[in-house]
Structure 1
Amino acid sequence: MTDPETPHSRWSDLDRPPLNERALRRGLIRPGGLWTSLDVVTTTGSTNSDLVAVASSRPEGTVLVAEEQTAGRGRMDRRWSAPARSGLFFSVLLTPGDNVPVHRWGWLPLLTGVAVATAVARSAGVDTALKWPNDLLVTVDGEERKAGGILAERSGDEAVVVGIGLNVSLRATELPVPTAGSLALADAVSLDRDTLLRSVLRSLEQWYVDWREADGDPATSGLQEAYAAGCATLGRTVRAVLPGSVERVGEAVAVDGDGRLVLAMASGGRYPVGAGDVVHLR
Structure 2
Amino acid sequence: MKEKRTLMDIVWRVVLYAWSLTILFPLIWVIYESLKSNPEFFKDIWALPTELRWQNYSKAWNQYGFGQSLLNTLYYVGGSLVLGLFFTTINAYALTRMQFKGRKLIWGLIMLSLFLPGINALVPQYVIMRELSLTNSLTGLILLSSLGESVFYLMLLGGFMSSLPMELEESATMDGATLFQKFWRVIVPLSTPGIVTVGVFKFLGYYNNFLAPFIYLSDPKKYPIAVQMYSANKQMEFTADWVTLFAGVTIAMVPSIIIYILFQKLLMEGATMGAVKG
TM-score category (smaller protein): under 0.3
Larger Rg: 2
The two structures have a TM-score, normalised by structure 1, of: 0.24
Identify, as 1 or 2, the structure richer in strand: 1
The two structures have a TM-score, normalised by structure 2, of: 0.24
Identify, as 1 or 2, the structure richer in helix: 2
